[in-house]
Amino acid sequence: MSKTAIVLFSDPKAGSEEALGRAFNALFLTHDLKERGEEVALIFQGAGTRWAAELAKVDHPAGPLFRAVRDKVAGVCGGCAAAFGTSEEAQATGLPVTGDLAIPGIGKVISLGDYLAQGYRLVNF
Protein backbone atom coordinates (compact mmCIF):
# COMPACT_ATOMS: atom_id res chain seq x y z
CA MET A 1 0.00 0.00 0.00
CA SER A 2 1.32 3.44 -0.86
CA LYS A 3 1.67 6.31 1.59
CA THR A 4 0.99 9.86 0.45
CA ALA A 5 1.41 13.20 2.20
CA ILE A 6 -0.58 15.96 0.53
CA VAL A 7 0.78 19.41 1.33
CA LEU A 8 -1.40 22.46 0.81
CA PHE A 9 0.75 25.56 0.32
CA SER A 10 -1.65 27.79 -1.63
CA ASP A 11 -2.83 30.99 0.02
CA PRO A 12 -6.56 31.67 0.33
CA LYS A 13 -5.74 35.37 0.77
CA ALA A 14 -4.80 35.39 -2.92
CA GLY A 15 -8.56 35.33 -3.53
CA SER A 16 -8.01 33.61 -6.84
CA GLU A 17 -9.77 30.72 -8.47
CA GLU A 18 -6.34 29.08 -8.74
CA ALA A 19 -5.85 29.12 -4.95
CA LEU A 20 -9.33 27.67 -4.42
CA GLY A 21 -8.70 25.12 -7.16
CA ARG A 22 -5.51 23.99 -5.44
CA ALA A 23 -7.36 23.56 -2.15
CA PHE A 24 -10.14 21.60 -3.85
CA ASN A 25 -7.62 19.37 -5.61
CA ALA A 26 -5.76 18.68 -2.36
CA LEU A 27 -9.09 17.67 -0.80
CA PHE A 28 -10.11 15.63 -3.88
CA LEU A 29 -6.89 13.62 -3.76
CA THR A 30 -7.12 13.14 0.00
CA HIS A 31 -10.67 11.86 -0.38
CA ASP A 32 -9.78 9.59 -3.30
CA LEU A 33 -6.89 7.96 -1.44
CA LYS A 34 -8.93 7.66 1.76
CA GLU A 35 -11.71 5.89 -0.14
CA ARG A 36 -9.14 3.50 -1.65
CA GLY A 37 -7.99 2.62 1.85
CA GLU A 38 -4.52 4.04 1.31
CA GLU A 39 -2.48 5.81 3.95
CA VAL A 40 -2.85 9.54 3.40
CA ALA A 41 -1.95 12.62 5.42
CA LEU A 42 -3.13 16.15 4.62
CA ILE A 43 -0.77 18.88 5.81
CA PHE A 44 -1.34 22.64 5.88
CA GLN A 45 2.06 24.30 5.44
CA GLY A 46 3.31 27.82 4.70
CA ALA A 47 0.57 30.26 3.68
CA GLY A 48 -1.61 27.16 3.32
CA THR A 49 -2.07 27.25 7.11
CA ARG A 50 -4.70 29.90 6.42
CA TRP A 51 -6.88 27.28 4.73
CA ALA A 52 -7.58 25.45 8.00
CA ALA A 53 -9.85 28.22 9.29
CA GLU A 54 -11.37 28.89 5.86
CA LEU A 55 -12.31 25.28 5.20
CA ALA A 56 -13.74 24.86 8.71
CA LYS A 57 -16.39 27.50 7.95
CA VAL A 58 -19.80 25.84 7.63
CA ASP A 59 -20.69 27.81 4.50
CA HIS A 60 -17.40 27.33 2.63
CA PRO A 61 -18.00 25.64 -0.76
CA ALA A 62 -15.33 23.03 0.06
CA GLY A 63 -16.61 22.57 3.62
CA PRO A 64 -18.46 19.28 3.08
CA LEU A 65 -15.44 17.74 1.37
CA PHE A 66 -13.12 19.05 4.07
CA ARG A 67 -15.31 17.52 6.78
CA ALA A 68 -15.21 14.19 4.91
CA VAL A 69 -11.39 14.10 5.08
CA ARG A 70 -10.81 15.95 8.35
CA ASP A 71 -9.72 12.70 9.98
CA LYS A 72 -6.81 12.58 7.52
CA VAL A 73 -5.40 15.99 8.51
CA ALA A 74 -1.97 15.31 9.97
CA GLY A 75 -1.61 18.88 11.10
CA VAL A 76 -1.31 22.57 10.59
CA CYS A 77 2.34 23.67 10.67
CA GLY A 78 2.76 25.59 13.93
CA GLY A 79 5.81 27.62 12.90
CA CYS A 80 4.18 28.48 9.58
CA ALA A 81 0.91 29.48 11.27
CA ALA A 82 2.87 31.82 13.54
CA ALA A 83 4.80 33.29 10.61
CA PHE A 84 1.62 33.89 8.61
CA GLY A 85 -0.39 35.22 11.56
CA THR A 86 -2.97 32.47 11.68
CA SER A 87 -2.10 30.56 14.87
CA GLU A 88 -5.27 31.48 16.78
CA GLU A 89 -7.55 30.72 13.86
CA ALA A 90 -5.84 27.39 13.22
CA GLN A 91 -6.06 26.38 16.88
CA ALA A 92 -9.75 27.30 16.96
CA THR A 93 -10.45 24.64 14.29
CA GLY A 94 -9.44 21.88 16.69
CA LEU A 95 -6.94 20.54 14.17
CA PRO A 96 -3.49 19.67 15.49
CA VAL A 97 -1.20 22.70 15.23
CA THR A 98 2.17 21.06 15.39
CA GLY A 99 5.78 20.87 14.36
CA ASP A 100 8.75 18.67 15.04
CA LEU A 101 11.59 20.40 13.22
CA ALA A 102 13.01 23.56 14.83
CA ILE A 103 13.79 26.28 12.27
CA PRO A 104 15.78 29.30 13.50
CA GLY A 105 13.59 32.39 13.67
CA ILE A 106 10.41 30.47 12.77
CA GLY A 107 9.77 27.86 15.45
CA LYS A 108 8.81 24.27 14.95
CA VAL A 109 7.52 23.21 11.56
CA ILE A 110 6.15 19.93 10.25
CA SER A 111 9.13 18.06 8.84
CA LEU A 112 8.35 16.97 5.30
CA GLY A 113 11.74 15.23 5.35
CA ASP A 114 10.39 12.91 8.03
CA TYR A 115 7.52 11.95 5.75
CA LEU A 116 9.98 11.18 2.96
CA ALA A 117 12.13 9.12 5.33
CA GLN A 118 9.02 7.11 6.27
CA GLY A 119 8.37 6.24 2.63
CA TYR A 120 5.66 8.79 1.85
CA ARG A 121 5.43 10.42 -1.52
CA LEU A 122 4.74 14.16 -1.34
CA VAL A 123 2.11 15.85 -3.47
CA ASN A 124 2.07 19.65 -3.26
CA PHE A 125 -0.77 22.03 -4.03
pLDDT value, residue 1 = 80
Nearest to 52 by CA among 99, 6, 109, 95: 95
Nearest to 55 by CA among 10, 3, 98: 10
Domains in the chain, ordered, with CATH? Answer: 3-124 (3.40.1260.10)
Tell me the C-alpha distance between 88 and 24, whole Å. 23
Tell me the C-alpha distance between 31 and 21, whole Å. 15
Which of these ranges, 3-7, 14-18, 46-50, 52-56, has the smallest mean pLDDT? 14-18
- Report the b/e string of 71-86 with b at 16+ CB within 10 A: ebbbbbbbbbbbbbeb
- For 9, phi then psi, to 5°, come to -105, -20
**pLDDT greater at residue 99 or residue 15:** 99
pTM of the entire predicted model? 0.95
Query: Residue 98 is which amino acid?
Result: T
Q: Is 119 exposed, middle or buried (CB count within 10 Å of its CB: 0-12, 13-18, 19+)?
A: exposed
Residues 15-45 pLDDT 10s = 889 999 999 999 999 999 999 999 999 999 9
Tell me the C-alpha distance between 57 and 67, whole Å. 10
pLDDT value, residue 16 = 87
pLDDT value, residue 15 = 83
Residues 61-92 pLDDT 10s = 999 999 999 999 999 999 999 999 999 999 99
